[in-house]
Amino acid sequence: MAEATFYFPRGFLWGTATSSYQVEGNNRNTCWWAWEQESGRIKQGHKSGLACDWWGGRWREDFDRAAEGHQNAHRLSIEWGRVQIKPDRWDEDALDRYRQILRGLHERGMTPMVTLHHFNDPIWLMEQGGWENETAVTHFLAYVRKVVEALREYCTLWITFNEPNLWVIFGYIQGTFPPGKQDMRAAIQVATNITKAHAAAYRAIHELQPQARAAIAHHYQALQPSKSWFPPDSWAAGFLNGILNDAFARAAATGVLRLALVRRRIPEAKGTQDFIGLNYYTLSRVAFDLRRAGEMFARRFFAPGADLSDGGWLANEPQGLYQAIKWALGYNLPVIITENGVNDAEDHLRPRYLIQHLHQVWRAVNFNFPVKGYFHWSLVDNFEWERGWTQRFGLYGLDVKTQARIKRPSANLYAEICQENGLSSDMVKRYAPEIFEMMFPG
């Protein structure tokens, strides 16, 4: 039987990722809390409630679990609505609590990566028009300065915005995220203002902390033409790729934001990333479809017989992560996988999903691609936005009523990977024997 270990570079970051609204609980001064109160907005009428009760202090036990699992890093976010209660009012106690949280990571030997905007805004900002109003750029810059000044002793890795492409699509085109609009003109204005805000935040971070590294966490969905020989399918996949995957990354590289036929020059954004933050979950096939004008004439679907997650939400397509890494390398910057994971309450798919995706990361580092770390989504089940508690991404399960954590087998698998700084054939044999021959033929 073949035996081997795929080792990763020394100093590789191994962690999990979380976001403040999804884990803290009772986060009331935010657009998402208001959104939850509207009927029909959240699947099955779910509420975030205590979430994972991190604001109540249970981050300590979850960080203990992560540290015991040999993770050496953690990505988390700061909640703008907690830090800046009103445009002219800051909550120093909230900042101090975030200091304690970051200090807690250091005490456990873990490197923090801090996200400054993860799908949520203060209610007062929304009352001023949110990101459709250019004053949001000025407000965000003030918030970033306040947070970086407060936390720079504990953090040098910063994400300005998490998945701004999805924030724009879901909030301003599809209407499934707050503010629930379906307005292309508003979407373009929001994308423009977010790009300006990122550029201003990037420069402020480096002014306050010259040694910092800052970037955007880009959501990359791998896209393949349904029929590679059929030009309309290739066109649809390429056109969708330009909007979904390229827009913000290209704007941060060149200073030009392109969305379909719209082109906005934002010269201050040029060269405003120190690495590429890469969120990858799945790959879709794309077919040209004249009936789908609202979706850029592109119909997306998973391959027949695909290895699907709970509810068919994601397909296990690990080669798409390698494709995503190659895409990121086009920007000539180091790459950090800032999110990757699968919703799987029974933990049947997650072990092979994790193994197969990390094998693709290893392929990349084996070619000396500058991939510097991997953050699994997520440490513990959390409130999954408009899907509520119906999707379970955690290495640890969560009983929402009792706050009990339930260790899944994948937590043990990931702990072994982190400890070994590698993926071995023995791990595959024990945790996902169904893919052993595929990975280690002969």
Residue with tokens 């910057």: 333
| 8 Å CB contact between 160 and 104 | no
Q: What is the pLDDT of residues 302-311, one digit of tens each?
A: 999 999 999 9
Question: Peptide bond before 179: cis, by omega within 30 degrees of 0?
Answer: yes
pLDDT digits (tens, 9 = 90+) for 205-257: 999 999 999 999 999 999 999 999 999 999 999 999 999 999 999 999 999 99
The set of residues, in sequence order, having a beta carbon less than 8 Å from that of 308 and lying 6+ positions away, is: 302, 314, 315, 316, 349
For the chain, give every domain's residue range: 13-223+254-281+307-408
Backbone angles phi, psi at 291, to 5 degrees: -80, -5
Beta strands in 73-230 (DSSP E): 73-77, 84-86, 89-90, 111-115, 157-162, 213-225
Quote the pLDDT of residue 3: 86
Contact 336, 375 (CB under 8 A): yes
36 pLDDT tier (thresholds 50, 70, 90)? very high
In this prediction, residue 1 carries a pLDDT of 57
Question: Does pLDDT of 402 surpass 60?
Answer: yes
Q: What is the pTM of this model?
A: 0.98
> CATH says 13-223+254-281+307-408 is which class?
alpha beta
* pLDDT (0 to 100) of residue 260: 82
The secondary structure of 300-343 as a DSSP string is: EEPPTT--B-GGG--B--THHHHHHHHHHHTT-S-EEEEE----
Q: Is the pLDDT of residue 47 over 70?
A: yes
Buried/exposed 263-296: b ≥16 CB within 10 Å, e otherwise? ebebeebeebbbbbbbbbbbbbbbbbbeeeeeeb
Greatest Cα pair distance in the chain: 67
pLDDT at 321 over 80: yes
- Percent of the chain exceeding pLDDT 90 equals 96
Q: Which pLDDT band holds residue 293 (cuts at 50, 70, 90)?
A: confident
Q: Which residue has the tokens 């290495």?
A: 395
